[in-house]
Amino acid sequence: MIIRQLMRGPVLFFIFIVLSILSLFIGVSQLGLSDIFHLSAEQRNILFSSRIPRTVSIIISGSSLALAGLIMQQMMQNKFVSPTTAGTMEWAKLGILIALVFFPHAHILIKLLFAMLLSIAGTFFFMKLIQIIRFKDVIFVPLLGIMIGGIISSLTTFIALRTNAVQSIGNWLNGNFAIITSGRYEILYLSIPLLIVTYTFANYFTIAGMGKDFSHNLGVNYERIMMFGLTITATMTALVVVTVGALPFLGLIVPNIVSIYRGDHLKHALPHTVLLGAIFVLFSDILGRLIVYPYEINIGLTLGVFGTFIFLAMLLKGSRNYES
């Protein structure tokens, strides 16, 4: 009952506002809410160069990955699929490494281009492999994706070792918002048009999620919508990985929580998924700043711990509920 009350739109929005404000004023440098009307030059620099960019990047990253997971689960008809369990993030890391090796001094847009291309290719490879193998048990699908992701991650590490790029690629292996400052997060704003496009085509994604025959009966080009939807998810994932690094399990657990209380209609679930994704990352990041204050735990670690326990709970409970 309590969780159902929390999942209401106004309550989620209130929690989101409170956590956003806390994110702006929690940190090593002293900056209190009472100082907002008489900021010193140093405090103003901290607020506009570090705290605001960090909070904005948290909100966009959390919303983007949660939405990417929602689209993947809807279109692949599997509640255990996400950018983490489909290997999309690992493909993005490989793309970044290739860009670092061949274009070490190139602009971040070059890294984004390679990450996007590899993410899209890897996601479609995973989808085709699932269509060929045709698993009947929904749990085997994400396990296959995790296995492929592990292979790609090992390949990335091997190439990084051979090219002395381990330290360079390290920033993207685990999510870290501490490195976010003004001038290196703005690329995340590209996710906002993708969010609008997703909302516009939400009904088509919902229809595609009901299957190929059902889509054709309603006059929807199933193959084209699948390609379009998976391209959006891969692009969102690449944007987040290039900017802040990998944020594990976010696209898996948030859509499942929303689905329990809001149903599977993508357009109805989308606003709650976006809000809950941002809230989950905001909470995890604030917790990471406070546990070992004045030091900080990477967001990739806190999300990984939460996500692992929740994912295991879903697996243990999983196949009976999700196949019924």
Residue written as tokens 């399990």? 249
Phi, psi dihedral angles at 285 (to 5 degrees): -70, -45
Residue 48 tokens read as: 């506009």
**Rounded distance, CA 116 to CA 230, Å?**
11
Report the pLDDT averaged over residues 238-246. 86
Contact status, residue 238 vs residue 256, Cβ threshold 8 Å: no
Report the pLDDT averaged over residues 202-229. 81
CA 184 to chain centroid: 18
Residue 52 tokens read as: 């605001």
Residue 141 tokens read as: 């699908």
pLDDT score recorded for residue 322: 45
pLDDT score recorded for residue 217: 80
Residue 301 tokens read as: 């670690």
pLDDT score recorded for residue 171: 62
**Rounded distance, CA 147 to CA 153, Å?**
10
**Rounded distance, CA 163 to CA 147, Å?**
24
The rounded mean pLDDT for the chain is: 81
* Confidence check: pLDDT of 7 > 60: no
CA distances from 34 to 12, 30, 39, 52, 290 (A): 25, 11, 9, 17, 20
* Res. 174 pLDDT band, cuts 50 70 90: confident
Residue written as tokens 């969780």? 3
pLDDT digits (tens, 9 = 90+) for 133-165: 766 667 788 888 888 888 998 898 888 888 887
Query: pTM value?
Result: 0.85
Report the pLDDT averaged over residues 10-20. 86
**Rounded distance, CA 155 to CA 311, Å?**
25
Q: What are the structural domains of the chain? A: 2-323 (1.10.3470.10)
CA 19 to chain centroid: 19
Residue 170 tokens read as: 């390290």
**Rounded distance, CA 247 to CA 92, Å?**
12
Q: Give, in degrees to the nearest 5, the angle at Cα 206 between 113 and 209.
A: 80
